[in-house]
A and B are shown apart, each in its own frame.
Chain A
């Protein structure tokens, strides 16, 4: 069973239902936009897929691997680009890449090629041995993006993909997202830049107050539901 399958996922924090019986599937090679108003549960859904957020009920499988049964193998198949970079202040950019390379068990030769390619395209060759606090926010975002792009995974989660990136980096990321999708990676991205997302995504999922209220092909997507309609 390839792709991501989320079945009946409910997340509660204290008494509040943040996600309520959410179900959907992402097929390999499909770019899906996760849309919704502020506080709809988009980030919680991402966190739940990543395993940061414990779910009350439901099943999440990725390429047939159950998140609860084989959590580490599950994580081996996904990578994540957050909205705000969360780099470790004690590691340089290159050391971050190495941490990702080793964690995803990327062969050294391939790793070096990939790093060379991405740092060239994203123009951070001169920042390779710098610690995060000496980098600008955009640079940190580039480092975080490269980390997540290094492994070939079945699922790529992207929270606000173009936040903090300059126009060239945004264009490059868009190109890479399309290439990854062509290679069979399922991509789930959240963004408030709806026009841009419409051009990039094939499918959409719409959340409202923690419930999945709509999904389908991006061509059918008209308007974002307001929080209190």
Chain B
């Protein structure tokens, strides 16, 4: 009788291969971003930064003692957080890094249960190393007591071990059931914590803790043992290989094949399955753009956030800087929007069909103008805070809106010509008009009456556009 091959060895080989591949990728990415000079500079800056950080931390020793006392007095809340965190995490992550490599191994004569166990042990080992390193670092640079750091480390580690399997089980639940469990857990923590704060009693926190433990018990009692392997493997592969630094260096982003998060699941209501009204041609394009923006929400939020930061930071340093911040915001927003418009056609299926570009553009602009209104509200807020020339605000807003619309349409027309392979450049006349419009925008803050004259100019342009 043949002996069974060693699961441990096979799994070890997989992990070693993964480690080597990651090492190679990091080496390539670091090679791209750091040369000797940059490395020396970064090293020196890190060293100086470390010294400054250490010095600053020492000056705030009282503050750290305060934190230590607060956390020790609220250990029950920490416990609640440590239980609820993996439960919420189960919405998107299985908690055990069982990837396609392990699934492939399970097709060979290796026990899947042993493979899962090895993945769990691997996770705990990693957590222990990270927690100990962090505790050591904090012990070296902060005034936290060793006993405090040791107990917190031990508590987090034990809870991580205890909650690994409940997270795995909850992840496998059907969406609605999982959603209800997570919502319930959040409600339990929120209510007990709030009431406990009002009545200054820990008893309610203990009740909350018991309820959460009871819920975990119910989750574990679900003995059907169904595991959605495809979903588990897809998610874990993404977690393992979607490495931010390498994505940035290689300019390639690994995208999840399907949306599986709570937001995505909620988004897929019964209504979203209904066919479109065929005669309402724009409905399908509006939905496709909506989905595009949801897919690219990170970039959308980053850009809008940057614009709001520009507006808010520059707006408290006099009218000329307000004017520049508004012009800069219009310029950035239009450029971002034009980039998104082109990118929307990069999907294989979208690219392969003939486009009714007017429909695509109009559906796109509806979203763009919607977000633009939010930015205009920020401008209103800034003007109201300034308190000067309140009577001119409607004209100024109309001016900024019109200039933004003109510039966005101009850039999108250019992108459309590229999509059509016609490559029509923006003409010198359009460039002059754009520069003129931006100059008027800049002047409109200090000389608000300028905004009226510009409306005429924009009106003329609008006529030209429709012709």
Contacts and interface: CB of A to CB of B under 8 A. Distances in A.
Main secondary structure, interface of B, reads loop
B276 interface: yes
Interface string B253-279: 000011100000000100001111011
Nearest to A50: B352
A88 interface: yes
Nearest to B356: A103
A102 B350 CA distance: 12
A16 to B, nearest CB: 20
Contacts of A133: 257-258
A176 to B, nearest CB: 19
A69 B347 CA distance: 22
Interface string A140-173: 0000000000000000000000000000000000
Contacts of A72: 354-355, 357, 420
Interface in B332-379: 347-357
B281 interface: yes
Contacts of A211: none
A87 B349 contact: yes
Contact of B354 (A75, A86, A89, A131): A75
Interface residues of A, number: 36
A164 B449 CA distance: 68
Given A92-B273, A99-B284, A129-B273, A108 B353 contact: no
A101 B291 contact: no
A98 interface: yes
Given A89-B257, A89-B258, A104 B353 contact: yes
Determine which residue in A76, A79, A103, A129 has the highest number of CB atoms from chain B within 10 A of its CB, and name it: A103
Interface in A86-145: 86-92, 94-95, 98-105, 108, 111, 129-131, 133
A105 B420 CA distance: 18
Contacts of A131: 268, 273
B421 interface: yes
Contacts of B278: 98, 101-102, 108, 111
B251 to A, nearest CB: 16
A204 interface: no
Contact of B351 (A52, A89, A99): A52
Determine which residue in A99, A100, A129 has the highest number of CB atoms from chain B within 10 A of its CB, and name it: A99
A111 B348 CA distance: 23
A71 B421 contact: yes
B347 A100 contact: no
A68 B354 contact: no
A50 B258 CA distance: 26
Contacts of B419: 71
Interface in B242-259: 257-259
Interface in B167-215: none
A86 B281 CA distance: 22
A43 to B, nearest CB: 12
B382 to A, nearest CB: 37
Contact of B276 (A76, A88, A95): A95
B352 A80 contact: yes
A98 B284 contact: yes
B344 to A, nearest CB: 12
Contacts of B357: 72
B294 to A, nearest CB: 8
Contacts of A52: 348, 351-352
Given A75-B354, A86-B349, A131-B268, A102 B284 contact: yes
18 contacts: A52-B351, A68-B421, A76-B354, A86-B348, A86-B349, A88-B288, A88-B350, A95-B275, A98-B284, A99-B284, A101-B278, A102-B281, A102-B284, A104-B354, A105-B356, A129-B273, A129-B274, A131-B273
Given A95-B275, A104-B353, A133-B258, 13 more contacts: A50-B351, A51-B351, A52-B348, A68-B421, A86-B348, A86-B349, A90-B259, A91-B288, A99-B284, A100-B353, A102-B356, A103-B355, A129-B275
A-B interface, 7 closest residue pairs, ranked by CB to CB distance from nearest: A75-B354, A103-B353, A76-B354, A86-B348, A90-B291, A71-B421, A129-B273
